[in-house]
Amino acid sequence: MRFSKKLKNIPPYLFATIDKKMAEMKAKGIDIISLGIGDPDLPTPQNIFKKMHEVLEDPKSGRYPPYEGIYAFRKAVADWYKKRFGVILDADKEVVSLIGSKEGIAHIFPGVIDPGDIVLTTDPGYPVYKMGTLLAGGIPYSVPLKEKEGFLPNLESIPKNILKKAKMLFVNYPNNPTGAVCDISFFKEVVKFAKKHDLLVCSDLAYSEVNYDGYVAPSILQVPGGRDVAIEFHSLSKTYNMTGWRIGMAVGNAEAIKALSTIKTNVDSGIFKAIQYAGIEALTGPQDCIVKNNAIFQKRRDVLVEGLQSLGWPIEKPKATFYVWAKVPKGYTSVSFCEELLVKCGIMIVPGNGYGKFGEGYFRAAITIPEERILEALQRMEDKGIRW
């Protein structure tokens, strides 16, 4: 048997590896406190489940859905964008449903790039940006996110010879893994830059609703001319605790939406109708769950950050996402510190270099577990002498 040469450049998916390691340790009877994967432990709101059950009673719900998503869902997305961002979208041409935003991000690459084209990927960043580029035969170029620059990319530092071959630029704010945020002025710079260099901007906005301390995340489509250069990927996963439901949307530039839809219609058959109707309920029903969820996550954030500060960590509270991004102590690499924390304390965190070479020297901790478990993790660290 012979397999694709591309596989040689594709490592196992970071979180699949973490899942496997955790399973091995749990099988040995070790109590693992996982601050690893960003999978909210809070329940999906009951009104969403109720709508799902109602639709399941309809025998027609099991038939093929429209490839691009049922119109009612796409209309709900457009209405939500208008209400949330003041952005008016054409539900037919500027919205497509996704089997989670990860799927949409992975499928935009073959719709836009050819072998040898360059994709500008922020580093550290969501691994799919780089892996999707490689699987499509493209060349990822890492644009560093530096702490001293607020983990925002310095676009003007990208070499001219790289820009000549580049077709796409990924931005992700609120940011995974750093928790960094931006304001609308940053997106204005991105739109101007993209127009100058003929780039498609892929804005990953999955964490737009997970905000703290009065911060409200913007959309790149709010910028005049934003839809001329940008496609935005969004998801119901983080906003409504629906990670396992696999439903999201891409919106924005009509040509980019058409390119993505062309790929999708040839490789998948859309989202189960019942899930789409549940998604409509999520977007149009009561939104108080977002406020309640954020209050819980903010308390957990405070507990973890203040606990790390008490152990000597020089760290500030992130204004968005449910991640805490922090430096590893001196003398450690990202991997060696995470291994020590796992072996000594039974605590699972993610090494920063798993998100790219510029993530070396950092780790990411997710606050998607109960507050008491976070407190227990901090106590274990103190008991074992793990300090900054």
Q: Convert the pLDDT of each residue in 243-296 to its tens digit.
A: 999 999 999 999 999 999 999 999 999 999 999 999 999 999 999 999 999 999
Quick check: is 149 in a domain? Answer: yes
pLDDT at 74: 98
pLDDT at 177: 98
Quick check: is 95 in a domain? Answer: yes
What CATH number is attached to the domain comprising 75?
Answer: 3.40.640.10
Q: Convert the pLDDT of each residue in 238-255 to its tens digit.
A: 999 999 999 999 999 999
- Per-residue pLDDT, averaged over 83-94, amounts to 98
- Please indicate, yes or no, whether residues 232 and 315 belong to a single structural domain of this protein: no
Which has more confidence, 241 or 10?
Answer: 241
Quick check: is 226 in a domain? Answer: yes
- Please indicate, yes or no, whether residues 269 and 304 belong to a single structural domain of this protein: no
- Please indicate, yes or no, whether residues 355 and 334 belong to a single structural domain of this protein: yes
Query: Quick check: 8 pLDDT over 90?
Result: no
- Please indicate, yes or no, whether residues 235 and 324 belong to a single structural domain of this protein: no
Q: Which of 284, 319, 349 is the last residue of a domain?
A: 284
Quick check: is 378 in a domain? Answer: yes
Which has more confidence, 6 or 201?
Answer: 201
- Per-residue pLDDT, averaged over 24-49, amounts to 89
What CATH number is attached to the domain comprising 346?
Answer: 3.90.1150.10
The values of phi and psi at residue 286, to 5°, are: -60, 140
- Please indicate, yes or no, whether residues 209 and 314 belong to a single structural domain of this protein: no
- Its sign, for the CA torsion 187, 143, 107, 290, is negative
pLDDT at 6: 77
Q: How far is residue 339 from each of residues 120, 191, 194, 312, 344, measured CA to CA in Å?
A: 31, 41, 40, 20, 8
- Per-residue pLDDT, averaged over 89-99, amounts to 98
pLDDT category of residue 97 using cuts at 50, 70 and 90: very high
pLDDT at 141: 98
Count CA atoms closer than 13 A to 193's CA, side-chain side.
Answer: 23
Query: Quick check: 10 pLDDT over 80?
Result: no
pLDDT at 61: 87
pLDDT at 18: 65
Quick check: is 388 in a domain? Answer: no
- Please indicate, yes or no, whether residues 266 and 297 belong to a single structural domain of this protein: no
Quick check: is 131 in a domain? Answer: yes
- Please indicate, yes or no, whether residues 37 and 77 belong to a single structural domain of this protein: no
Q: Convert the pLDDT of each residue in 169-185 to its tens digit.
A: 999 999 999 999 999 99
pTM given for the model: 0.94
pLDDT at 12: 67
- The domain tally of the chain equals 2
Q: H/E element holding 200? A: strand 200-204
pLDDT at 17: 65
Q: H/E element holding 26? A: helix 14-27
pLDDT at 351: 94
Quick check: is 99 in a domain? Answer: yes
Percent of the chain topping pLDDT 70: 97
Q: Which of 252, 267, 284 is the last residue of a domain?
A: 284
pLDDT category of residue 25 using cuts at 50, 70 and 90: confident
Percent of the chain topping pLDDT 90: 89
Q: Convert the pLDDT of each residue in 318-371 to its tens digit.
A: 999 999 999 999 999 999 999 899 989 999 999 999 999 999 999 999 999 999
- Please indicate, yes or no, whether residues 64 and 132 belong to a single structural domain of this protein: yes
> Per 3-state DSSP, what percentage of the chain is helix, strand, and coil (rounded to 5)?
50, 15, 35
- Please indicate, yes or no, whether residues 62 and 192 belong to a single structural domain of this protein: yes
Q: Give dist(CA 227, CA 169) in Å, integer.
A: 14
- When the pLDDT of each residue in the chain is averaged and rounded to a whole number, the result is 95
DSSP assignment of 241-261 equals T-GGG--EEEEE-HHHHHHHH
Query: Quick check: 23 pLDDT over 80?
Result: no
pLDDT at 19: 67
pLDDT category of residue 29 using cuts at 50, 70 and 90: confident
Q: Give dist(CA 112, CA 381) in Å, integer.
A: 47
Q: Which of 230, 262, 284 is the last residue of a domain?
A: 284
Q: Give dist(CA 388, CA 378) in Å, integer.
A: 13
- Please indicate, yes or no, whether residues 123 and 71 belong to a single structural domain of this protein: yes
Residue 379 is part of which domain span? 5-43+288-383
- Please indicate, yes or no, whether residues 159 and 253 belong to a single structural domain of this protein: yes
- Per-residue pLDDT, averaged over 134-145, amounts to 96
Q: Give dist(CA 98, CA 248) in Å, integer.
A: 5
pLDDT category of residue 30 using cuts at 50, 70 and 90: confident
Query: Quick check: 192 pLDDT over 70?
Result: yes
- Please indicate, yes or no, whether residues 114 and 247 belong to a single structural domain of this protein: yes
Give yes or no for a contact between 226 and 85, defined as CB atoms under 8 angstroms apart: no
Quick check: is 110 in a domain? Answer: yes
Q: How far is residue 335 from each of residues 182, 350, 352, 359, 360, measured CA to CA in Å?
A: 29, 8, 8, 11, 9
